Amino acid sequence: MKDVDRAPYVAPLPWFPLPARLAVFLSGRGSNFEALADACAAGHLPGRIVLVLADRADAVGLGTARARGLRAELEERRPGEPRGAHEERLAAQLASAEADLICLAGFMRVLSPAFVARFDRRIVNVHPSLLPAFPGLEAQKQALEYGVKVSGATVHLVDAGTDTGPIAGQEAVAVHPGDDLPSLAARILSAEHRLYPATIGRLLAGGWIVSGRRLIFPG
């Protein structure tokens, strides 16, 4: 069920006991994971990372997490393994780490509606566009091909759709006339690194309301 179909939700004050226990899912280099880890270490984000989980053995973020002394686990989907069985292993890792919140940081595997429902409003994602524009893969390329003048980054709660959950934060990024894909992607990534920890911090403070597709912070 998408949030637009549900009764309003009011997050407790705070959302979870602080410092919140964060799990980060990634598939690659994990630069947004590093932004979150840096914010936690500096005291700017009232949480601590209790699990970094990757679905690819070549994910650079696994090594980065281990170098930081964090628990880092690999859970690849085995050949022929049903999606549900793989997600049960993800859930077991989350239970073992006693994670409060799942932060997707370049996690390239689509989570099933059943998994999302199991962790209802406990999964957050950062996406490289101003949603609802350009959901899905290659959002920066979509923006360039469409010819928009402004793109950006969005942090949202994850629902059963593709990048359709309630929007918690956005930062605009200008598209310059001479931009190519690497230059635009780099500027949007910098915005993600600022926006993701700041927005998660606002969410952890609690007191916000989800009504339909709108996520409204107090004050």
111 and 32 Cβ atoms separated by less than 8 Å: no
**3-state class (DSSP) for residue 216:** strand
Q: Which residues contact 182 (CB under 8 A, 6 or more apart)?
A: none
- Is cis: bond before 166, omega within 30 of 0? no
72 and 84 Cβ atoms separated by less than 8 Å: no
Handedness of CA 120, 126, 129, 134 (dihedral sign): negative
- pTM (global) more than 0.85: yes
Active site residues: 127
Q: Following DSSP, what letter does each residue of 152-165 receive, concatenated?
A: EEEEEE--SSSS-S
- What pLDDT shows up at residue 85? 98
**What tens-digit pLDDT sequence spans the chain (219 residues)?**
566 678 999 999 999 999 999 999 999 999 999 999 999 999 999 999 999 999 999 999 999 999 999 999 999 999 999 999 999 999 999 999 999 999 999 999 999 999 999 999 999 999 999 999 999 999 999 999 999 999 999 999 999 999 999 999 999 999 999 999 999 999 999 999 999 999 999 999 999 999 999 999 998
State both tokens at 19: 């410092």
Q: Which residues contact 127 (CB under 8 A, 6 or more apart)?
A: 135, 139, 153, 154, 155, 156, 163
Half-sphere exposure of 53 (CA within 13 A, CB side): 27
